[in-house]
Chain A
Amino acid sequence: MARSARTYGLPLPGVTDEEFGGSLIVIEGMDGSGRSTQISLLTEWLESEGFAVQTMGLRRSGLVAKDIDALLAENTITRMTVTLMYATDFYDQLEHRIIPALRSDFVVLADRYFYTLIARAAARGIQRDYLNGLYEMALRPDLTFWLNVRPEAAFEREFRKSHAISYWESGRDMSLSNDLFQSFILYQAKMKKEFEALAEPHGFIAMDGEASVSRVNAELRRRIAAHLGIQRTHYKPSSALASLWR
């Protein structure tokens, strides 16, 4: 079986390494780490620099995103099924969104990648080597940033934003605690451990997600500019995004 340098081992059926350029840049971090804010700002900055941008995220595939929503609402759903439905969602986006974009020389910004899916499944007791095998045909990103925040800080940000905490982001399916706050903290601590295990083999660039939006953004721009060969990294958000700039 042929091997692929762009993936974690196996090539995707029907896709060869040759033909695509572009850049795949991943931002990982728990809810409340500022991921989405940074993606919005980076998109604007890259477009102003003349780069075409495509985004991806979890549960955004045309194929199964809605079905995953429905499955998560059912309390009979089991972790293997969830794991494999998310894998379907991931590969559908990889094949129908990321690879076509890279073929057209886009910069793909991923609002989380399969690392989160591995961390979630591993935190629920699924073997890591099984999960690594599952994602063996995923593309290796050019850059992966990990926005690190304390669970307490993330909880505060999320609660301020939506006045509620997601059932799944607080790991309530795992019966860690009946207290929602406790459950969130315990679950995110587990997730953090899983991310720490992924950080080195996958070359994560860890960043302080609790620093100000503008500071995190400046550091992201510096790294991305170096990768893409952008000389001037000055950026000020447009009025549409100014409210994000704190």
Chain B
Amino acid sequence: MKWVCLAPYSPMTATVSTPAAPIELPRGAHELLEPARAYPGALVVVEGIDGSGKSTQLYLLKRWLEIGGYRLHFTEWNSSPLVKSATRRGKQRRLLTPTTFSLLHAADFADRCERQILPLLHGGYLVLADRYIYTAFARDVARGCSPRWLRNLYRFAPVPDITFYFRAPLDVAVNRIMSGRPKLKYYEAGMDLNLSLDRAESFRIFQGRILAQYDEMIESDRFVVMDGTLPVNKLQKQMRQIVKSRIDLSRFAPKKASRVSQ
């Protein structure tokens, strides 16, 4: 069955009667939404496994735009205070299954999406997101969730204008993390999957699975692949170039004082 999109980026506007039968969603279904992007803002996303350098690069991009006075908003994965206590409790007591882990993060994202991301896009902001729905697709599929179910779950998310995928070899990324942050958390290391009793080894296997899932999405979700092993400043130069060529930044430039007010 072909999935027909009724509302651009939102399952909330149309009510069409459908039977209870499951629907088939193609991979990268939300590509279909692209022509209908109906807001003056723009969304730039960075993705990649832990230690790929994505957060550093997004920070530098943000500084560059901030210093230039552009209208922007920065948002992070997993940061909504509303859902935080539930996530923390679930993790502490190890109550989370692949399904409830995924749903809690989706609820968290929905809160941020409806209260920050969408209003800001409609209000003409440049929104920068450190991790986005692809983090859920990669990580939750690595945990055993169905890709079809996940694609449906996040259907309400606006499609990014640019998705930078920072790709670093597994060993490089894992070593970066292990040298700076020796104590890995239970779910972070994928210990719930019984991959290995050794936390560091479990983390490595889990990150490898996530990396494979990211690679699967490169084409279907039009990732811009960035070589995470390049020097920071060189990579940043590339990133700024791509942003400039793909997004008309003048839309977000500081407004010049009008004559009337002078």
Contact = CB atoms under 8 A, between A and B. Distances in A.
A64 B96 CA distance: 11
B145 A62 contact: no
A14 interface: yes
Among B7, B90, B103, B145, chain A packs the most CB atoms within 10 A around the CB of B103
Interface stretch (B62-70, B122-130, B147-155): B147-155
A83 to B, nearest CB: 8
Given A1-B146, A9-B22, A88-B103, A128 B153 contact: no
Given A78-B114, A133-B149, A127 B85 contact: no
Given A67-B85, A134-B153, 14 more contacts: A9-B21, A63-B90, A80-B111, A81-B82, A91-B97, A92-B100, A96-B95, A126-B12, A128-B18, A130-B11, A133-B22, A133-B148, A133-B149, A137-B149
Given A63-B95, A128-B18, A80 B149 contact: no
A201 B17 CA distance: 12
Given A10-B149, A63-B90, A128 B104 contact: no
Query: Which 10 A-B residue pairings sit nearest by Cβ, starting from the closest?
Result: A9-B22, A133-B152, A84-B107, A13-B144, A130-B11, A80-B110, A201-B20, A67-B86, A127-B11, A78-B114
B99 interface: yes
A1 B148 contact: yes
Nearest to B90: A63
A160 interface: no
B87 to A, nearest CB: 9
Contacts, number: 136
B89 interface: yes
A128 B110 contact: no
B14 interface: yes
Contacts of A77: 82, 111
A71 B86 CA distance: 11
5 contacts: A80-B12, A81-B83, A81-B107, A84-B107, A125-B13
Interface of A: 1, 8-10, 12-14, 62-64, 67, 70-71, 74, 76-81, 83-85, 87-88, 91-92, 95-96, 122, 124-130, 132-134, 136-137, 197-198, 201-202
Contacts of B26: none
Interface string B142-177: 011111110011011000000000000000000000
Contacts of B83: 67, 81, 85
A125 B14 CA distance: 7
B115 interface: yes
Contacts of B99: 12-13, 91, 95, 137
Given A84-B110, A132-B18, A13 B98 contact: yes
A169 B114 CA distance: 23
Given A13-B143, A84-B110, A201-B20, A128 B15 contact: yes
B97 A13 contact: yes
B23 interface: yes
Nearest to B7: A127
A125 B12 contact: yes
B260 interface: no
Contacts of A84: 103, 106-107, 110
A162 B147 CA distance: 45
A81 B7 contact: no
Among B16, B90, B143, chain A packs the most CB atoms within 10 A around the CB of B90
A95 B95 CA distance: 10
A232 B25 CA distance: 49
B35 interface: no
Given A10-B149, A62-B95, A128-B15, A133 B23 contact: yes
A87 B103 contact: yes
Contacts of B98: 13-14
Given A1-B148, A14-B97, A129-B23, A81 B155 contact: no
